């Protein structure tokens, strides 16, 4: 078990407050296909709720799988990006365990952003199966409440949230464990909108109204036409892709996809949308307990 001390900026009020959390980070492996444990093993990082945040020591708690975007999990130093440790801290703050899943490195990939969607070597089929396998792994952990499993994803990982909660996919209908609740930040919604989205999962989508990489409109349409439990949608005016991060706004010319293929996409923070989305996320998570 590897000790990891991380500090992350979490919006608790209208002011930016610093929340630091000491947690035991454990690297684990998860079969990509729960029915075939001798196959591909995915890397993941398990963050149990710290003892000081766990007053009911013996009580099983909800747990959430974190699903990275097309850029993968790691920063330039090869460490978990701040985004994921930041959200682990948010989850721990509401008493939920966290599992940060890596869908790329054991498949020999570092990122998917610069690959055209139809040519990506790690597909949404792969990522959907990864998410379902991670939920099955969580359900077997003794400190986890298997009836309160969640998914939290960004961009390509947000699309995975949709794919892994849409019972129009046979793999989801047949899964041993599915998500009771889920959150998708600026997902690509076109594929599941066209397929038809039906779910029993309580889903929150947090979107940038100005997003020119994964636009808000297909997601808003998905929510309007969804069958089963109707998703909640919040679209933040003036916010672009990655609005919940801290990186300055810029245009990425190396991304071949988006609203205007070949012209690049706009990514970066929006301070107001970041703050408001943290508040909305925490309220949503608290309601799932």
| Per-residue pLDDT reduced to its tens digit, 199-232 | 999 999 999 999 999 999 999 999 999 999 999 9
Q: Note the pLDDT of residue 57.
A: 55
Number of neighbours of residue 251 by Cβ within 10 angstroms? 13
- pLDDT reading at 10 higher than 80: no
- pLDDT reading at 18 higher than 60: no
Pairing of strands 227-228, 250-252: unpaired
Q: Note the pLDDT of residue 53.
A: 54
How large is the average pLDDT for residues 56-69?
A: 88
**How far is CA 196 from each of CA 155, 156, 158, 227, rounded to the nearest angstrom?**
19, 18, 17, 8
What's the token pair of residue 248? 């300055």
What's the token pair of residue 161? 């949230």
The residue that leads in pLDDT, 194 or 20, is 194
**How far is CA 231 from each of CA 52, 152, 155, 168, 254, rounded to the nearest angstrom?**
34, 14, 17, 15, 32
Mean pLDDT of the chain: 90
Exposure on the CB side of residue 60, measured as CA atoms within 13 A: 13
How large is the average pLDDT for residues 124-140?
A: 97
d(CA 245, CA 273): 10
Q: Note the pLDDT of residue 56.
A: 55
Q: At a CB cut-off of 8 Å and minimum separation 6, what does 172 contact?
A: 128, 132, 163, 164, 165, 166, 178
Beta bridge partners, 150, equal 64, 181
In the chain, pLDDT over 70 holds for what percent of residues? Answer: 88
Q: Note the pLDDT of residue 20.
A: 39
Q: Using one digit for the tens of pLDDT, what is the confidence trace for 112-123?
A: 999 998 899 899
How large is the average pLDDT for residues 235-251?
A: 97
CATH number for the domain including 34?
Answer: 3.40.50.1820
The answer to whether residue 112 sits within a structural domain is no
What's the token pair of residue 42? 């995915």
For 83, the enclosing helix (H) or strand (E) is: helix 82-93
- pLDDT reading at 234 higher than 90: yes
Using pLDDT thresholds of 50, 70 and 90, give the confidence band for residue 269: very high
What's the token pair of residue 97? 């365990």
The answer to whether residue 113 sits within a structural domain is no
Q: Using one digit for the tens of pLDDT, what is the confidence trace for 38-56?
A: 689 999 999 999 876 555 5
What's the token pair of residue 173? 């209908």
Residue-number span of the structural domain to which 23 is assigned? 2-107+118-287
In the chain, pLDDT over 90 holds for what percent of residues? Answer: 83
- Where b means 16+ CB within 10 Å and e means fewer, 54-63 reads beeeeeebbb
For 252, the enclosing helix (H) or strand (E) is: strand 250-252
Residue 43 burial (C-beta neighbours within 10 Å; 0-12, 13-18, 19+): middle
d(CA 206, CA 197): 17
- Strand, helix or coil for residue 181: strand
Using pLDDT thresholds of 50, 70 and 90, give the confidence band for residue 9: very low
Q: Note the pLDDT of residue 17.
A: 32
How large is the average pLDDT for residues 230-256?
A: 97
For 191, the enclosing helix (H) or strand (E) is: helix 190-195
Q: Note the pLDDT of residue 289.
A: 87
How large is the average pLDDT for residues 90-103?
A: 97
For 132, the enclosing helix (H) or strand (E) is: helix 124-139
Q: Note the pLDDT of residue 34.
A: 58
- pLDDT reading at 152 higher than 80: yes
How large is the average pLDDT for residues 85-91?
A: 97
The answer to whether residue 143 sits within a structural domain is yes
Tally the domains of the chain. Answer: 1
- pLDDT reading at 11 higher than 60: no
Closest CA to 163 of 112, 123, 215: 123
């Amino acid at each position: 078990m590897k000790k990891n001390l991380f500090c992350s900026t979490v919006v608790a009020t209208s002011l930016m407050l610093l929340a630091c959390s000491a947690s035991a980070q454990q690297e684990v492996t998860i079969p990509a296909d729960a029915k075939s444990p001798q196959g591909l093993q995915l890397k993941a990082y398990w963050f149990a709720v710290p003892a000081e945040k766990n007053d009911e020591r013996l009580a099983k708690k909800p747990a959430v799988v974190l699903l990275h975007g097309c850029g993968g999990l790691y920063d330039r130093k090869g460490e978990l990006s701040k985004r994921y440790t930041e959200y682990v801290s948010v989850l721990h703050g509401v008493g939920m365990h966290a599992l940060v899943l890596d869908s790329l490195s054991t498949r020999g990939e570092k990122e998917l952003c610069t690959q055209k969607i139809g040519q990506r070597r790690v597909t949404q089929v792969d990522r959907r199966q990864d998410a379902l396998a991670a939920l099955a792994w969580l359900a077997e952990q003794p400190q986890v409440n298997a009836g309160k499993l969640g998914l939290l994803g960004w961009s390509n990982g947000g699309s995975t949230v949709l794919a892994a909660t849409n019972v129009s996919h046979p793999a989801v209908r047949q899964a041993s464990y599915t998500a009771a609740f889920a959150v998708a930040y600026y997902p690509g919604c076109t594929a599941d909108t066209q397929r038809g989205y039906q779910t029993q999962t309580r889903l929150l989508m947090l979107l940038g109204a100005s997003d020119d990489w994964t636009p808000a409109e297909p997601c808003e349409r998905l929510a309007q036409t969804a069958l089963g439990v109707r998703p909640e949608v919040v679209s933040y005016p003036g916010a672009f892709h990655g609005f919940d991060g801290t990186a300055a706004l810029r245009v990425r010319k190396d991304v071949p996809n988006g609203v205007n293929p070949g012209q690049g996409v706009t990514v970066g923070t929006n301070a107001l949308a970041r703050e408001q989305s943290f508040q909305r996320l925490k309220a949503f998570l608290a309601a799932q307990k």
